[in-house]
Chains A and B, each alone.
Chain A
Amino acid sequence: MFSFFKSAKEQAEEAPKPSWAQRLRAGLARTRGALSQKVTGLFAGRTKIDEELYEELEAILLTADVGVEATGHVLEALRARVRRERLTEVGELRDALKAVLAELLAPLERPLEVSGHQPFVIMLAGINGAGKTTTIGKLAYRYRQEGRSVMLAAGDTFRAAAREQLAEWGARNQVEVVSGTGGDPAAVIFDAIQSARARGIDVVLADTAGRLPTQLHLMEEIRKIRRVIGKADPSAPHEVLLVLDANIGQNALLQVQAFDEALGVTGLVLTKLDGTAKGGVIAALAKRRAIPVRFIGVGEGLEDLQPFRVDEFVEALFE
């Protein structure tokens, strides 16, 4: 998880930090491998825009988890643009595809502003293993870097050692962690908000246990957590982040739907984008349920959680 713990990576760690754009590109390199290189190869070998080309394009989009519906939408929009602009060159098709994707993703780019409330309460939710606790660690680091005071609430009272994991993140970021001894996550988070208000803390990050949308009693529990947060501060939670693992396929859509219905999700975090062939699911999300993607996780370092930017994202996909 942390490169500085890896003996094999110790050398690399001493080199100057690569810029954010470089890291994004590196993280998305594999997606490019799946999407862009194939696209380039495809465009290079072709001289005219024909059905076969569209079919291959369809296959590439599907393989990148864009999904049947969104792929259909993208191709249709691409065809329309080709007709409208009377494109005949295969090279022009590439720019047109970029534009279509950027247009589709545009509604998702709305960065999170953590001001206007003190404390600004951010609640995190998601399925098991999505990366909630790790995301909290990275968010804590980010807000500390911005000079804000942060408090963590250990609302995952279920999973073995989840509390210890959050405590470790707290220690690394020199941030206080509120964790109860009992098993009631709502009470722990309630206490954290009370205590944060008393101490003038800027941001409260509330962890919750991972749960699948099919576990109805756990979905009921998280609804309750949200209600109880509202009791600690009627305006809270100010942000409900759903953490999605980019490895997940079309099920991500169902997850967004289920959590949104239960909690009113206001933002998404897409984690583990540093693997292979990911990112397409964002397009499927944009098509179905346009909830802003607040952050994407592109690496294992503390600073590898970054705001989602459509132009950079699309650009990186096609470089």
Chain B
Amino acid sequence: MQRWLGTSLAAALLLTACVTINVYFPAAEAKEAAKEFVDKVIGDDAPATEAKPAPQTPGGQGGSASLQSRRSFDWLALIGIGSAYAQESADISIKTPAIQAIQNRMATRFQTQLAAGFDAGALGLTRDGMVEVRDAAKLALKDRVAITQAVADDNRDRKAVYREVAVANGHPEWESQIRGIFAQQWIASAHSGWWYQDAGGGWKQK
């Protein structure tokens, strides 16, 4: 009886072990990619930093993401090949032509239109990685129309970027985490004096 129990327990454990696939969100890499993206859009990427994320060693903490980031995502683990630590080169890629095209468009829009709105305090960075016209009165009427439109365009682009980064990296379900990382990065890269939304939704000036 005891033996039977032990066997079935072991079998159950084995089964559980077989079906559980842990996919960790590579927060550090995502953060690196977000920084590269955001700094280029804002136009602060002058000191061309090496964008390649440092390979993560097993057990190294991924940083501030909402999910724990133990290590780079192991593609092979998904289909059951290789050990858990077989790969270390996974990163979050933002190099697809579509994302790059959107990035270029966003950079142009940011530097020609939105930056002035942020400087004037009219625009703010929301906690979900978007832009909001928080104080339209700070803009001349003519600009108000153009900037409101630019903000709508930019938010459409942002939404597409968060989605495409997740999909391009093979994990559509990461969209909200990618968005979260970008949201933090927009605020981290914001110039002082720009407004952003804190975690509670209140507006703060950096």
Q: Is B truly associated with A?
A: no
